[in-house]
Amino acid sequence: MKKIVLTLLVTVALGLLAAGAAEEAAALKGWLDQPFSAAALEAEREAKLAAQKNPVKGEFETTAQFEQRKRDSARVQAEIKAEYEEKIRDARAAYEANTQRLRQRLQVILGQSREIVELSSTPGTYDPDLQKLPVNTSEKKFEIVVPLSLAEGVKKNYSQYKLKVTRQLDDDLRWAYLEARLEGPAGQFSSTDKAPAPGKVSVSGGIIPPDLVTSQSYSEPSGNNYLDAEETAQVLITVRNKGKGDAYAVTANLELFRAAGVSCDPSLYFGQIAPGGESSKTLKLRAGSTVEDGQAELKITFSEQNGFPPDPLVLKFDTRALRPPDIYIADLGIDDFNQNLKIEPAEPVEITLRVHNKGSGPARAVVADVLRGEGVYPSAGNSRSSFDLGDIESGDYKDFTFGIVTAKTATALDIRIDLKESRPQFSKLAQPLNLALNKIEQTTQQLVVKGRESGGRIAQAPNLSSDVDRDIPVLAKPDRNRWGVIIGIENYQKVNAPVPFARRDALIMKDYFINILGIPEENIYTKTNNDASKTEFSTIFGPRLAKNASGKDNEVFVYYSGHGVPDNRGREAYLLPYDGIPEYPETSGYGLQTLYTDLGKLNAKHVTIFLDSCFSGRNRDNQSILTGAKALVITPELPSVAPGMTVFSAAGGQQMANVYEDQQHGLFTYYLMKGLRGEADADNDKNITQQELNNYLRQNVTSISRRLDREQEPQLMSSDPKRVIVKLK
């Protein structure tokens, strides 16, 4: 009932104002009567927290992985709480600031309602001591100050007087009667009540806008500028306020395009940003296992409470599909108590195993579990059975050592290893070690000699270190007139079939160029994988060599390990750069004839080219890199070479350039290295000619390729096969 009466009073009072002012005052009053509430934000926060609470250990999740996930969940919960504390704080500040502005506006409207009205009144009994005449109205009783000398005449002739009253709406939109004046024949007399002077309400002339500008930076953990499958990249977004006004509730809204398998939070909250201030937030771009090769786009739009957001941002980033690891027991060594290199019954033995990743992608959170069969027990000195090897990058390895002792009655050594990767599909379970009792085995010391654990560069840490990787002889002094180009492309941007070990081939070949061919390191251009683009091919074999290596005093050596492809008609051969498309070699490849022509323009004393590639459209693992009808094996016509140029190619005709898995190299490259270091010197005259090197390559590459049930016969194109390529000491 009270509410209804108040509503009627408000309605009557507002009816006396102009219609627009009345509606505004009613709206302001209604808004100011509403208390601040963060209920919606709190409900939103609790929903997000609920999604993070009480994680359950998965069936195929290790304890370490589960504990890490719980820690991650706790961290995310803390971030959610902090974010919503800030949101609620900013919402309250915005509410209070808005309330202040609305209250100021209401005071202005109330001040504008002040008016003077004439009211009916009746006089009371005059007080001669105080010289006051009481006057009664239906709204309020006033005391009018009337001098004693005039009081009797005023009261006697009261009907000839008018009572004029000043009134104004109060905060409840009711009339407050402030003062009165009695006007008539004897003059004007005022009440003891005095209306205060109209208040000066401080109201700003309007909002001072902020001026928001943004910046962003992108980083991903592997440092290869790709968001790889199962990686999480970070985008640091900074918003700065260059204006003179505050920015309120600044929010970034995020939307991904062409990004299948990539996810991120839908928004980032920056909150209030004062003039001259800035706020930075980190966005996480999470790539799942289904990410594909391509380029994704992140569109970032902003909102600001009063409509002053910064301009949108667009971030484009490359994504790369999952490169699977391939972990296996690469080698082992023993340290036996009797030091006779044999595992004997009842003898404590320590076994060191080397786990190598020969896949193109990293192995994550690898755990090795030792499974000991009947009659094989842990030794007292080293009884561990489980080893956390962590991540193993492509081409890297990790060693671990465990102890055994066999029963005297044992007749066999049944030891198997479970290699568990965080993703079950990449685990290798029950891998046999194939050890035997009373058989001479390799020592741990011999195992260590084979390689050093790397920090990511395969060239420095071969898994099963090939003999050509170590002790490369120094056969030539640096010759500043010798120049080298080395290109090794293992993983391509637009080809799913890699060239196994091509990058490693190139990195180790650099040492051969320096030590054996006498090319100064600063004269060698080495490019691998994404550094070997079509633009880089054109630049190196064009202006770069032309500027530095042209002229009759210079010699140039070129080594290439990667894909070769034929053109659409099968007539011309092309080298395929990292960003090349095998189906369109004419526009995205680098023609073999173009290579020969560009090198011929140097007018160098001699040019020698080593090509560990074929042009059949297949890779070292016999995988087609072409689609559709082009997957057929076709043979392009290889261009002839000019005088002063020699080409050693890995294969001829329709043959493939094979991989030599046991030595972790291309088959052609492995024997090329062995030949250059001296084994090709058939007549032992300390000189290796082009013909001797080619004969050595044909003999060994052909033999090994046949053992692999393949055909590969290296080719030599030279106008001077007797030319000496290496002088031995």
pLDDT, tens digit (0-9, with 9 covering 90-100), for 377-408: 999 888 899 999 999 988 899 999 999 999 99
Sequence-ordered list of residues with C-beta below 8 angstroms from that of 15, at least 6 positions apart, any chain:
22
* Cα–Cα distance, 402 to 332 (Å, whole number): 11
* Cα–Cα distance, 165 to 194 (Å, whole number): 11
pLDDT value at 20 more than 80 = no
Q: Partners of 377 in the beta sheet? A: 405
* Cα–Cα distance, 716 to 353 (Å, whole number): 42
**Mean pLDDT, rounded, for 332-342:** 81
* Cα–Cα distance, 559 to 378 (Å, whole number): 50
**Per-residue confidence (pLDDT) for residue 642, from 0 to 100:** 75
**Alpha carbon separation from 309 to 217, 252, 313 (Å, rounded):** 20, 9, 12
**Mean pLDDT, rounded, for 706-722:** 89
Q: Which residue has the tokens 């001296």?
A: 678
Q: Which two tokens stand for residue 504?
A: 């490693």
pLDDT in tens, 502-534: 988 998 899 999 999 999 999 999 999 999 999
pLDDT value at 627 more than 80 = no
Query: Under DSSP, is residue 175 helix (H, G, I), strand (E, B) or coil?
Result: strand
More confident residue, 173 or 179: 179
End-to-end CA distance of the chain: 115
Q: Name the percent of the chain in helix, strand, coil, to the closest 5.
A: 30, 30, 40
Choice among 252-256, 324-328, 576-580, 614-618 with the minimum mean pLDDT:
614-618
pLDDT value at 593 more than 70 = yes
* Cα–Cα distance, 591 to 639 (Å, whole number): 10
Say if strands 606-612 and 555-561 run parallel, antiparallel, or are unpaired. Answer: parallel
More confident residue, 346 or 91: 346
**Per-residue confidence (pLDDT) for residue 72, from 0 to 100:** 83
Q: Which two tokens stand for residue 575?
A: 């080298």
Calculate the average pLDDT of the chain.
Answer: 85
**Mean pLDDT, rounded, for 474-496:** 94
**Mean pLDDT, rounded, for 250-261:** 92
pTM over 0.85: no
Sequence-ordered list of residues with C-beta below 8 angstroms from that of 424, at least 6 positions apart, any chain:
60
Q: Partners of 188 in the beta sheet? A: 183
**Per-residue confidence (pLDDT) for residue 442, from 0 to 100:** 63
pLDDT in tens, 542-573: 999 999 999 999 999 999 999 998 887 767 88
* Cα–Cα distance, 504 to 231 (Å, whole number): 24
Q: Which residue has the tokens 């683009």?
A: 533
How many helices and strands in the chain, by DSSP H and E?
A: 13, 37
**Per-residue confidence (pLDDT) for residue 10, from 0 to 100:** 41
**Mean pLDDT, rounded, for 290-294:** 91
Choice among 546-550, 584-588, 618-622, 691-695 with the minimum mean pLDDT:
618-622
Q: How confident is the model at residue 170 (pLDDT cuts 50, 70, 90)?
A: confident
